[in-house]
Chain A
């Protein structure tokens, strides 16, 4: 028989907290699967073209960007557009999961106030849902890319590892932002603007070579730069990332996760009263 003891203070050690969180995720994995499945089904049920959009959207984007950027930069327009697409598909996952993750607890109010559900479930739902979208986005990227000259190599096999690193990073950020949002509801406006800023400090629509050498170091302050580069090495450059190109994004991801768990631990006891 399960015994639970509830006390007045949080005297749980950091290690016990991490272990409990892990146990909770295992215990509630069915709930996670159930909620994510229904979210995906609901999104694609409404329209027959649901899944096809993930193909047409990048195709239309490709057409526009090819025209626009072949005028702007002296690059091979098609190849350059595929380069951009690899950045966009990665950026879309990161920004979409952070943007919608900010509201994770606010939207889960109905569950959190009526049932005991581990809080981390809801940020996880967002990330898993966006991972499914990421998957469809990549499907679009590959189908268009292969038609217009993308080559495949063994590096593409490491894609799931890179996706995991990205997911851990966004989970950490989402944990921080969704917790703070309960106390300050207008965080999401700031998040949108800040993400917009980061987007232009990450080589997505352009190559780092285009930037004057003197200001290139500015990009090294954006964590997104390392995450996008990791993905791009694997799915566009067909190069195995260097050790640093692995370790920096992994380090950033783990740091973000630890920070996120720490913030949630701080907020866990008061969060429910502020919803």
Chain B
């Protein structure tokens, strides 16, 4: 059995509540004064709109789209963070999500403790993480800072540690969201090499990036998302051409 992700007519709806912090007090007051309901009013947005897509083992999928196109939401649906509104999604393989910086990190703890915390948050036992520890620290080039609390790390150091953990634990499905943008060029090239290495062991990698050369360079397939809809699926070059074409810009 190999890794597989299958979207079948998947829709995901966000309700933007006009009142972000609803309270009983307001609900009762609204009800009493029969005013327009502040507490329950919302605007609906389809972050994913009837997406059908199959991602097979060996695919390195690049996701292209403007801000708010649903790119991160797609990753979060795969990670199981957001429940679907319609359709069905099948995910086979262990997912290692690198969706936002510092997910599952505690800034008060040392880098070393955070390696174990992050592993535990992905359901990996400390004994298994101990085997990876040396490699993670070495790849992140953080040997001298690893026992320092994470809150003193620079954002580059942060993302190096996060990337290093996510790629060392041998994920079957790796989700990357704009993660390499804060690393220096030395680390970016090192990370790119590591990703190629990961690809060769036939896992699924999904990469969200606004840096088109990165997608052209690393991915073997791509999609274009716009306002939650899947507009195009093809090779990175085709998608890039479509994304920059006048038809799309308008």
Contacting chain B: which of A78-86, A113-121, A208-216?
A113-121
Size of chain B's interface in residues, with CB distance under 8 A? 51
Additional A-B contacts beyond A5-B91, A115-B81 (5; CB < 8 A): A5-B90, A34-B117, A38-B108, A112-B81, A114-B97
Q: Is A71 an interface residue (CB 8 A)?
A: no
Please encode chain A, from 12 to 48, with 1 for each CB lying within 8 Å of some chain B CB and 0 for all others.
Answer: 0000000000000001101101110010001000000
Set of chain A residues within 8 Å of B79, measured between Cβ atoms: 115-116
Say whether A42 contacts B104, CB under 8 Å.
no
Q: In the complex, what residues of B have CB within 8 A of residue A27's CB?
A: 123
CB contacts (< 8 Å) of B117 on chain A: these are 31, 34-35, 38
Interface residues of A (CB under 8 A from B): 1-8, 27-28, 30-31, 33-35, 38, 42, 110-117, 183-187, 190, 268-270, 272-274
Asked if B121 is at the interface of the complex by the 8 Å CB criterion, the answer is yes
A-B contact pairs, 13 of them (CB 8 A): A3-B91, A7-B88, A8-B84, A30-B120, A38-B106, A38-B117, A113-B81, A113-B100, A114-B81, A114-B100, A115-B103, A116-B80, A186-B23
**Is B15's CB within 8 Å of the partner chain A?**
yes
Report A-chain residues with C-beta under 8 Å of the C-beta of B23. 184-186
Contact A187 B89 (CB under 8 A): no
Partner of A184, one of B27, B100, B108, B121: B27
**Interface assignment of B206: CB less than 8 Å from any CB of chain A:** no
Closest chain A residue to B128, Cβ basis: A30
Give Cα distance in the complex from A3 to B88, angstroms: 13
Assuming the contacts A34-B120, A38-B109, asked whether A4 and B90 have C-beta atoms less than 8 A apart, the reply is: yes
Inter-subunit contact A30/B172 (CB<8 Å): no
The answer to whether B88 and A185 touch across the interface, beta carbons within 8 angstroms, is no
Nearest-Cβ distance from residue B141 to partner chain A, whole angstroms: 24
The residues of B with any CB-CB pair to A shorter than 8 Å are: 1-3, 11, 14-15, 17, 21-25, 27, 77, 79-95, 97, 99-100, 103-104, 106, 108-109, 113, 116-117, 119-126, 172
A42 to B151, CA, bound (A): 14
- Total of A-B residue pairs, C-beta within 8 Å: 116
Closest chain B CB from A67 CB (angstroms) = 41
Give A91 to B25 CA distance when docked, in angstroms.
Answer: 28
Q: Please name all residues of chain B whose beta carbon is closer than 8 Å to the beta carbon of A273 when the two chains form the complex.
A: 14-15, 82
Nearest A residue to B27 by beta-carbon distance?
A: A184
| Interfacial chain A residues near B100, Cβ < 8 Å | 113-114
Q: With CB as the reference atom, state the residue of chain B lying closest to A7.
A: B88
The distance in angstroms between the C-alpha atoms of A28 and B104, with both chains bound, is 13
Best-surrounded residue of A35, A115, A269 (most CB of chain B within 10 A)? A115
Q: Which of B2, B89, B125 is within 8 Å of A6, CB to CB?
A: B89
